[in-house]
Amino acid sequence: MQNADEMVAHNGDKFDMKWFRARCLKHNLGIPKDVTTVDTLKLSRANFEFNSHRLDYIAKFLLGYGKIDTSFGLWKRIVLDGCEKSMSHMVRYCKRDVVILQEIYEYIAKHTKMKTHVGVLEGNDGWTCPSCGSSNVIRYGKKIGATGVVRQRMQCQDCGHMYTISNSNTMKYAEHILDKKEKENQIKRKTKNNGKRNNKKKETNSR
C-alpha cells in the first residue's frame, strides 16, 4: 500500500482508512503514510445533490444496479456456525462492492477535481488530461479568476474531463501542437514526393 498513488473508498476517510490502519498495526504490517485518499462519499456530497449519498443508492441511480443484499443473520451464520455457503455469499457481496466502487469513482471523477494528475504520473506533460492521462485534448476557452489571472481551459477528447492548465503548460501544449503539425506536413510532403517519383517511373516504363 505504500506504493499506491491513491486509495479509494466510500466514507474511507472517516471509517475504512482508520479501520485499515488499525489492522495493519495489529498484524505488524506497517501503517501506510502519506498515501493520497479519495473518499467518494465526500466527492458525492460536495458536488452532487443525490437523494441519498449511500454507495448502494448512487450505484442504482447511475449504473442501474446496486449491492448484493445481506442481513445480520448472514453474519451470524458465518461467525457462529462457520457456514461456507454464507461465506461464499459474503465473498460475492464484497467483490460486487469493489466493482461498484470502481465504477462510481470512474463515473464521477471526471466531473470533479483530481487529487492525482494521471498524465504526469504516467510521465507526460502537465497539459495532458489529469483524469485519464490522454494527450488527445483541445483548448476550451479561458478561465479568468477574481484577481485577473488567466488560465487555459482544456477538455479531454477521450474521457470528457474539463480542467485548466497554467501558462507554462499552455506554452508546452502550443509547442506540442506545432510539432504535431510539422510532422503531419512532413508526412504529406514525403507522400507527395513518393507519388511524383512513382509517376516518373511509370512514364519511363511506358516509353
Domain co-membership, 13 together with 86: yes
Element (H, E) at 179: helix 167-206
pTM: predicted TM-score of the whole model, two decimal places:
0.75
Domain co-membership, 97 together with 164: no
Task: Say if 18 falls within a structural domain.
Answer: yes
Give the structural domain span for 200: 118-206
DSSP string, 17-35: HHHHHHHHHHTT-----S-
Task: Say if 47 falls within a structural domain.
Answer: yes
Whichever domain contains 59, its CATH number is 3.30.420.10
Number of domains in the chain: 2
Domain co-membership, 59 together with 136: no
> Is the CB of residue 115 less than 8 Å from the CB of residue 140?
no
The answer on pLDDT for 207 being more than 60 is: no
Query: pLDDT for 23-49, tens place per residue?
Result: 999 999 888 778 899 999 999 999 999
Domain co-membership, 105 together with 122: no
Domain co-membership, 130 together with 104: no
Domain co-membership, 17 together with 81: yes
Domain co-membership, 20 together with 65: yes
At 13 the pLDDT is 94
Q: Which of 87, 109, 131 is the last residue of a domain?
A: 109
Task: Say if 2 falls within a structural domain.
Answer: no
Nearest to 154 by CA among 118, 130, 175: 130
Task: Say if 142 falls within a structural domain.
Answer: yes
pLDDT band per the 50, 70, 90 thresholds, residue 203: low
The answer on pLDDT for 195 being more than 70 is: no
